[in-house]
Chain A
Amino acid sequence: MDLAVAAGEVVLVTGLSGCGKSTLALALCGLIPSRVHGELRGRVSFDGRPLSGLPPHEASQLVGMVFQNPNLQLINHTVQAEVAFGPENLALPQPEIAARVEWCLDFTGMAGLRKASTVTLSGGQKQRTAIAATLAMRPRILVLDEPLSDLDPIGAQEVLGTLRRLAKDEGTGVVIIEHRVDEVAPWADRVVLMDGGRIVLDRPPRDAWADQARWARIGVGVPDMVRLAHALPEAFPGPLPLSVEEALGQVRETWLVPALAAAAAARARAQQGLARSGGGLGESTAATPVLAWDHITVDFDANRAVDDVTLSIAEGEWVAMIGANGSGKSTLTGLTVGLGTPSAGQVYFRGSPVRPGKVFEHAAQVALLLQAADEMLFEETVLRELSFGSRFRALPPDPVLDVPGAIDFFGFRGLEDTSPWELSQGGRQRLALAALLVGAPGVLVLDEPTTGQDAERMRSFLRLLEAVRARTGLTVLTVTHDIRGLASRAARIVVLGQGRVQLDGPAGAVFARTAELAQWGVLAPPVARLQAELLGPDVRDVLLSVADLAAAAVSFHGPVASAAVDASLTVSGGPARTARTP
């Protein structure tokens, strides 16, 4: 491949998992082959100076790298010590070290936390500390490998804002390797798409997404606003919008607004009956609760993680729990299997109290798939992994999914004797999920199951989840930051903020409350934000997918637009310019 990065440029590199993005990042920083074994042909250079032959500490003063997991790259105990670590190693004079530390902390907004322990920081703060520590080496190019993967949307915007200022104000070249293209797109100057170890596209963002078919073929996600502009070309007469704000600028005065308003009014009329029967916002629909939290409070020393939460989930429901990092989501879900002890209140599974600490007992009823699915694999082969649970406890005589059934259903036929560690990351996650389901649980709880996954893998996980639900009728509770994908598919959304339930209702109704969501550190999906902005604060319900929005707009507008939308939808975002001139 050939790739050049200019000063002050923000480059988004994306592609499917395993396409070579991280390898590219390591090569850019001169860590291949000096620290990562491999054969490097060709040359990586900075201003004509070869990087690959340089010792890492010299290369890192030209091209710095922020690795994916901030936990593993914060070596020191305090933020200040972490940032000073690099300059101290370079044996710089004390005033120079102090000046660099000061600048980096100010620039990344971490000055107020300089003496804080790195262990106590939030995900966004850790990532900004890692960036500050890398910047202290004064690199001219900064490479970041999936910097947003563990961040909530608000934390992600903080980090992206910092990177943009770095490029604009300091002239640092920034290379962001990321799957979350929707969030990075508005900040990028160039988009690089990789496939099979090659660069298949390298354009400015608006040109990059002009041809959606190429992205669809590879299976990489496209920003929602771009997809919408392709679906409704006559509503977007200007250049391709990359963000909700850009889209708003183009459609405010168009036919789209009255069409969406008419569609929203029709939905409101249709849903009046549903609201009366308890399906509206703030009213729990859990008539026969399978899981119930009754006035739950959880304190960790002086910190109140969960504050008097009462919530229930009905049999067969699919509920998504969302909220900023630290809002109490994982604490609440952990209680369903006896992980942790509430300071007050009681959790119930089908009316029986969940006893704290009795994880083995409750894990038979509630299957909890941890975010780190790799930590849930213990055996030498796929087959032994699937039969792991049955070796230690009796299974129901007629389970919905037995081991042979799971092998077929999850696509492990022929891989029974394969080591779990030889499977792809997605395969390992599938295996952990399959192994849990063989235990015939009543509820499946998924903790951030799509973190760090590319669009294709996320789609296939969602398809798998739908298929599991169709086959088993399982109740599903997901904890997620993935608002656009996972949360939008759930029938019901519970928003947590400051340890309390702040919003609870159908996804369309919850995501219409964009201002309230922002208050609790949640950004609604771009499609929802667009509708909320266009229709004003009175809107009670929004559509959550580009296809639904386009179809609704068309059906309340007219036949001309309908033809255009059909064309673009049929080809799944086919030749963009064709769709624009129906």
Chain B
Amino acid sequence: MSSLLVRTVIAYLIVFAVPLLLPVAFFKLVGLGGLRELVTYEARDTPLHNLDPRLKVLYPIAMGILSIILNWDFMLIVFGLSILPWFWLRPSRAKVRVLMVMVGGPALTGFWSQGLYYLPNPPIHFIYQFPWTISWLGSPGITAFGLVFGLEQTARVLVTVSTSMLILVSTDVGDFTWAFERFRMPPQVGFALTAALRFLPDMIGRTTLVLRAIELRGYDLSRPRWFQMTKWPDYVRRICQCVVLVTVPLLVGSLRGTTTMAMVADARGFGASKRRGSLRVHKLTAVDIGGYVVLVVLVGTAIVLNHFHIGARPY
């Protein structure tokens, strides 16, 4: 009996450790205000910053294609290639912390959940088999096969996320708009992206302000300690009620803001002409040309190899 109890406790810890750790990591290491770091451009003068914006827009797309069509062995190389530029960029510590939690957290969840729920054909080799007291939840145990599969899938997603984040951090929004326009996309796409990235930090800031305001008005948003189990249901209830309360000031403020922004955009002639001019003049450099060549060669080679079933995904 004691053996069953111990096994049950261990099994519950295995199942719930990651889902419980992630919110803690978010609040401790990032917080609502820290989300701003996720999408803010870091003005620097690195070679990465000075690359042709069009190349930077194409880079995550190309890496995404590679991550989809290649098998796991080749994926490791692609994954490594997607991580390397971060060392070149050297982002601030605050940004690294936020990125690690916000990108690493969901990745860890994917890896873990596949380990629990993705099962090979029998016979199944479990790293740890759950007793009947928890297996009724749907997972008979954690398997190495599932973990490896989860790792592969997570790495594929991480390639696209990591490269996109790299470009967001090192590219001014105006450069994005410029690149989109060179690709003959409607100016509205660039404007929407610019406005979203410009005002997202503001929105997060306002949400933080309203949450502060509601506490100042006497609403208790303090979190119980992890071991105060009886207080957690009340905390969840208060949070849910708070969402309803803060919606009104947030909505009113946002509507006022967007009205002004729309008038400003109109007054500055946005949409007055089908084409736009540009202050930027980007002359292709040797580095840009090298970058284009590398991307084309990588994607081209992957497609050709894929055609000959070399390095191709088996599923």
Contact = CB atoms under 8 A, between A and B. Distances in A.
A158 to B, nearest CB: 22
Given A31-B263, A35-B262, A56-B267, A75 B195 contact: yes
Given A363-B216, A389-B217, A378 B264 contact: no
B220 A360 contact: yes
Contacts of A436: 216-217
Contacts of A78: 43, 172, 174
B253 A375 contact: yes
B74 to A, nearest CB: 37
A172 to B, nearest CB: 16
Interface string B208-228: 011011111111111000000
B248 interface: yes
Interface stretch (B50-58, B158-166, B269-277): B269-277
Given A77-B198, A392-B218, A117 B41 contact: yes
A358 B223 CA distance: 10
A76 B198 contact: yes
A361 B215 CA distance: 9
Contacts of B201: 119
A140 to B, nearest CB: 14
A354 to B, nearest CB: 14
Contact of A101 (B209, B222, B268, B279): B279
B260 A133 contact: no
Interface string B250-267: 001100010011111111
B202 interface: yes
B272 A89 contact: yes
B222 to A, nearest CB: 5
B248 A67 contact: no
Interface string B180-195: 0000000000010011
B94 interface: yes
Contact of A360 (B92, B94, B222): B222
Contacts of A389: 217-218
A31 B191 CA distance: 21
Given A89-B271, A392-B218, A73 B277 contact: no
B173 interface: yes
B219 A392 contact: yes
A343 to B, nearest CB: 15
Nearest to B264: A73
Contacts of A414: none
Given A89-B276, A360-B218, A72 B257 contact: yes
Contacts of A495: none
Interface in A46-92: 55-61, 64-65, 67, 69, 71-78, 80-81, 84-92
A413 interface: no
Residue among A67, A76, A337, A374 facing the most chain B CB atoms (10 A cut-off): A76
B215 A72 contact: no
B209 A55 contact: no
Contacts of A201: none
A103 interface: no
A76 B276 CA distance: 15
Contacts of A76: 173-174, 194, 198
Nearest to A67: B260
B277 A88 contact: yes
Contact of A376 (B213, B266, B273): B213
Contacts of A368: 216
A375 B174 contact: no
A29 B268 CA distance: 12
Given A378-B246, A378-B249, A436-B216, A137 B267 contact: yes
A570 interface: no
A379 B257 CA distance: 21
Contact of B268 (A60, A358, A361): A60
A69 B41 contact: no
Contacts of A87: 277, 279
Given A101-B279, A375-B253, A421-B252, A435 B217 contact: yes
A549 interface: no
A91 B218 contact: no
B187 to A, nearest CB: 8
B222 A361 contact: yes
B252 A374 contact: yes
A364 interface: yes
A124 to B, nearest CB: 19
A127 to B, nearest CB: 14
A88 B279 contact: yes
A79 to B, nearest CB: 11
B10 interface: no
A520 B101 CA distance: 41
A301 B268 contact: no
A35 B253 contact: no
A37 to B, nearest CB: 11
B124 interface: no
Nearest to A359: B215
B103 interface: no
Nearest to B171: A77
B245 interface: yes
Contacts of A19: none
B239 interface: no
Interface in A76-114: 76-78, 80-81, 84-94, 96-98, 101
A339 interface: yes
B213 A69 contact: no
Nearest to B201: A119
Interface in A334-386: 337, 339, 357-361, 363-364, 367-368, 370, 372, 374-379
A233 interface: no
11 contacts: A57-B267, A71-B202, A73-B264, A74-B198, A76-B173, A78-B174, A91-B277, A93-B277, A337-B216, A379-B245, A435-B217
5 tightest CB-CB pairs across the interface, nearest first?
Answer: A389-B218, A57-B269, A89-B269, A56-B266, A86-B268
Given A89-B272, A91-B275, 4 more contacts: A359-B216, A363-B215, A376-B216, A435-B217
